[in-house]
Structure 1
Amino acid sequence: MFTRISESSAFAKRLIPQLWTCGIGWDEQLPQDIHNAWTIFKFDLPVSEISVPRYLFQPSVTNCTLHGFSDASEKGYSAVIYSRTEKDGIVHVRLVCAEAKVSSLKTIPIPRLELCEAVLFSDLFAFVKYSFDQDSSTALDWIRPPPYRWQTFESNRVSHIQERLSPDV
């Protein structure tokens, strides 16, 4: 599924520079070849097949890892991050995030595009890691100190968590 969506996104992103090079205004007719490509793209768009789960992690997951992939070509480069979770021997793989960039209209050597791809991947992975760390660190800042530091509502919940989990959370 991700492949079909990313191909569609990449096609749309490559179409805009083609229009720039043609010098077409916003109210002008498209050249026939671009119009035909757009019509095919519009009808092949997998809109009815798109399903995005609202959550990444199942409750009480036993194992969670992040996996990333990236690639580059003369047309552009992209990166994607997936989460792989395991619960009761059942593996779930979910798309966390993805990003794609269209190559410049100037010809750029593949090694440079691969370097851009690596930068994009590292930025995307750092963003995901930072997001997970931020979510966790906020909760951990509440959970680690002794419960008496908080008001009754927070203190009761922190006590509950600390009774069930090790202090190394």
Structure 2
Amino acid sequence: MPIERTLGLSLDYGSDSFVVSASIKLDGTPKREILRETSSVYNTFGFLSPVLLHAKIILQAVCRKSVGWDDQLDQTTIDEWQHWAVSLSKLRPLSVSRCFNPELPKARGVGLHLFADASESACGAIAYLKFDNPDGVKVSFVMAKARVAPIKYVSIPRLELCAALLAARLASVIKLELRLKIDQATFSSDSITVLRWINSPDYRFHVYVGNRIGEILKLSESSQWRYVPKTQNPADDVSRGVASTEFSIEQRFITGPSFLYQSPQNWPAFPDVK
């Protein structure tokens, strides 16, 4: 059956899956065209968030400079942009199943799992649905969001807090939009500082931290937050980016971390840190 485009996505009716690919033009390199081409890649569900991050970082670096919208950029920026654009053309099309779980009526439980992470360049969050089917566990990618770090310097713990807030907001949207009964939502972060903030209701926070902690606790319970090592955190791909040539459907960004396929007793535990 043919592949049809709908709502900015390519849908393969034969396999009932989204076919995700991207390409941009290389005509000229003023700031206006970098913004236009970066925004032209349809990424509503965040399938390509790790790949597009580097383009957003380049655009942010250009915005830091006093450059007009149609002024020519410096050669270093042009080379960096063209190198990224050429690598994007080498991205292999991804086939992501439209159906979260074909065996949904038989599932014994549905869990929503969100992961948050931040780096000096960006912060991001990913959501997965976990289904306990009779023949095993099924984990499906739902959505991802990435935000470039502000131009004004923000510390890593505060960026990690912004990532946690992004995960809480993402969970709220998913619960509202999905017609699924979700038994439980679980949030994971590799920031011990943020997890202690969330679990310290008696601590008097500064305004920046306090406002975000307050919203997080409106959208979630402190008991829902867990620790995940950075090496097992798929949101690390969103906050640091992945090269187009290395991005594939088999990556943990799409499939989810391996421990989700195990029982909760085998999930990462909070480390003993004084």
TM over 0.5: yes
Superposition pairs of residues 1-169 of structure 1, within 5 angstroms: 5-45=48-88, 47-59=91-103, 60-62=105-107, 63-132=109-178, 135=179
Q: Is the 8 A contact 2:47 2:144 kept in 1?
A: no
Q: Is the 8 A contact 2:124 2:147 kept in 1?
A: yes
Runs of 4+ in structure 1 displaced over 3 angstroms? none
1:124 to 1:108, Cα distance in 2 relative to 1, 3 A: same
Q: Is the 8 A contact 2:110 2:129 kept in 1?
A: yes
Question: Following the alignment from structure 1 to structure 2, what is the Cα–Cα distance between the partners of residues 48 and 54?
Answer: 18
Q: Is the 8 A contact 1:8 1:41 kept in 2?
A: no
Question: Following the alignment from structure 1 to structure 2, what is the Cα–Cα distance between the partners of residues 34 and 128?
Answer: 37
Q: Deviations over 1:93-138 (max 9, x none)?
A: 2210110111111111112111111111110111112223xx358x
Q: Is the 8 A contact 1:64 1:86 kept in 2?
A: yes
For structure 2, the residue ranges without an aligned partner over 5 or more in a row are 1-45, 182-274
Question: Following the alignment from structure 1 to structure 2, what is the Cα–Cα distance between the partners of residues 33 and 90?
Answer: 51
Secondary structure of 1:17's counterpart equals: helix
Secondary structure of 2:96's counterpart equals: coil
One-letter amino acid of the counterpart of residue 25, structure 1: G
* TM, length-normalised to structure 1: 0.68
One-letter amino acid of the counterpart of residue 151, structure 2: L
Q: Is the 8 A contact 1:13 1:102 kept in 2?
A: yes
Q: Deviations over 1:24-44 (max 9, x none)?
A: 233322211111111221122
Larger radius of gyration: 1
* TM, length-normalised to structure 2: 0.44
1:40 to 1:91, Cα distance in 2 relative to 1, 3 A: farther
Partner of 1:152: none
Q: Is the 8 A contact 1:81 1:97 kept in 2?
A: yes
Q: Is the 8 A contact 2:115 2:127 kept in 1?
A: yes
Question: Following the alignment from structure 1 to structure 2, what is the Cα–Cα distance between the partners of residues 124 and 136?
Answer: 16
For structure 1, the residue ranges without an aligned partner over 5 or more in a row are 138-169
Tell me: higher relative CO, structure 1 or 2? Use CA pairs within 8 A at least 6 residues apart: 2
Question: Following the alignment from structure 1 to structure 2, what is the Cα–Cα distance between the partners of residues 61 and 16?
Answer: 47
1:83 to 1:136, Cα distance in 2 relative to 1, 3 A: closer
One-letter amino acid of the counterpart of residue 30, structure 1: L
